[in-house]
Structure 1
């Protein structure tokens, strides 16, 4: 029975690749990628075929392993370790793509859970495809250090101030050369995978570890040396990955007079 769908799968794979290359996945009609409703059992069989053939020691396992081993770090967030393989277009909606290699992406457990079985309904809802969408030529990830008073109001803390609390906020800041649609896709990706929360958690873990080197810079030359030290860290991280959350973090800290003038001690204390 499943062999009768071989040609349809090949046609579907071609249509999918063209849509990936032209960022038109939202225009794909699910009806063209699945047996008709009266053949619901065939749809289930196509999905089951993927699940069965990708198991260890099964014929399709090398395809699964190749997808999972493409990256060691999750390409969706850049933080988590790849543990799973995800369907960029969900197999529950597009079963003809269930075993198509370019629809199988390496992913960490958290990002796989966050994405769920969602399909884009408009251009902006298309999350980034690591095989086709390269957004790392331009800088788009930024961060800022926000200080708050006791009543919760944000204010620009000055040197020697003691704000009631603080937070690091990560956000998408697309370059002016991007068109609106491209920028919205990156924002959608950022939102879908909850990258702001993820990077804030990473920053909270990272800051205590760099307090010692910041203190040394401060003792050597005050705020200017702290700023230079942080910018050096940012450049190092950006050389490896332009939109590294660490590059964005260190630049934001270097840009904050309160932090560089001693506020780093309060931040490191949590």
Structure 2
């Protein structure tokens, strides 16, 4: 969850040629040498800015080419001339980095192609994501309009501190387990904390986690009962060790890790887990 390793860029010029040339060899749009050079400069600036918006990412020299670049993304779809790019990016991760559980089936434009058409087929602007996250994010541009929020973190470029910042709050009301995740760490920079909070809210993750939590706990039910029979203290230690083990696979701030940490510290749950996870 949160970040993934970016894939290689491949041959950018070959991708550009394929996007702007029909199968019969006819040009969709013939980019001039000046336009092509400007596009490479945009790509380099995008990396230097860690994917964040910058006025020079939409230079005037690309005004004519921009609509064609925006439409070139159609060739990334299944059956398109750049379908292998789509396949490669989607194969780079098993889980959507935005939510940590959805199957990546879409490519999200971190900077939306409606605004930044130059980046429509740039691999590092394409984030493998599940459809619900992609639809919820839509055309959010980080920092462009404060009224619309700070934006989401960049799954390729965001440098996350090695601290625990995702916390889970456990409640039990009306015979139902309640879990609410929040961003909470005094050592987290304010701007980063705001983005992480915005991501939780924009993608409605607390609502969408409910089904995943029930499924996850159901899968752990037998082992939880066995350790709880030995005693609540050992059971709490077991939950803590499970959290540490999962953090090695999914990261310290994965929702499953935060959930198990919170449960290990919840005395009532460790005493009588069947009240929370059913029989």
What's the TM-score once normalised by structure 2's chain length? Answer: 0.77
Match of 1:129 in 2: 154
Given candidates 8, 25, 31, the residue that maps to 1:3 is: 31
For residue 166 of structure 2, what is the aligned residue in structure 1? 141
Going from structure 1 to structure 2, the CA distance change for 1:210 and 1:71 (only over 3 Å counts) comes to closer
Shift of 1:166: 3.8
Residues in 2 aligned to 1:233 and 1:178: alpha-carbon distance in whole angstroms: 25
C-alpha deviation, 1:167, in angstroms: 0.7
CA drift of 1:136 comes to 6.1
Q: Judging by fraction of residues, say which structure has more helix.
A: 1
Contact 1:2 1:45 in 2 (8 A): no
Is the 8 Å Cα contact of residues 235 and 270 (structure 2) preserved in structure 1? yes
* Residue 151 (structure 1) aligns with: none
Does structure 1 residue 109 correspond to structure 2 residue 131?
yes
The partner residue of 1:224 within 223, 233, 239 is 233
Partner of 1:69: 91
* Distance of aligned partners of 1:192 and 1:28 in 2 relative to their CA distance in 1, 3 Å threshold: farther
**What is the match of residue 160 of structure 1?**
none
Name 2:196's counterpart in structure 1.
186
Corresponding residue number in structure 2 for 1:152: none
Report the Cα offset of residue 15 of structure 1.
2.4
- Match for residue 45 of structure 1? 68
1:1-270 correspondence to structure 2 within 5 Å = 1-4=29-32, 5-20=35-50, 25-28=52-55, 32=59, 36=63, 43-52=66-75, 55-56=78-79, 58=81, 60-120=82-142, 121=144, 125-135=150-160, 137-148=162-173, 165-174=176-185, 176-221=186-231, 223-240=232-249, 241-262=251-272, 264-269=273-278
Figure out how many residues of one structure are paired with residues of the other and give that number.
245
Distance of aligned partners of 1:26 and 1:50 in 2 relative to their CA distance in 1, 3 Å threshold: closer
Structure 1 residues 189, 2: closer, same or farther in 2, change over 3 A?
A: farther
Q: CA deviation at 1:89?
A: 0.7
TM-score normalised over the length of structure 1 = 0.79
C-alpha deviation, 1:34, in angstroms: 8.9
Give the secondary structure class of the aligned counterpart of 2:49: helix
SS at match of 1:3: coil
- For 1:120-175, what per-residue CA distance to the aligned partner results, in whole angstroms no more than 9, with x for missing partners? 22586231212211326322111121134xxxxxxxxxxxxxx654411111123x
**What 5-or-longer segments of structure 2 have no aligned partner?**
1-28
> How far 1:103 sits from its partner (Å)?
1.0
Displacement of 1:260 in angstroms is: 1.4
- On the 8 A contact 1:136/1:243 being kept in 2, the answer is no
Change (3 A) 1:34 1:14: same
Q: How big is the shift at 1:33?
A: 7.6
After superposing on structure 2, the runs of 4+ consecutive aligned residues of structure 1 that deviate more than 4 Å are 33-36
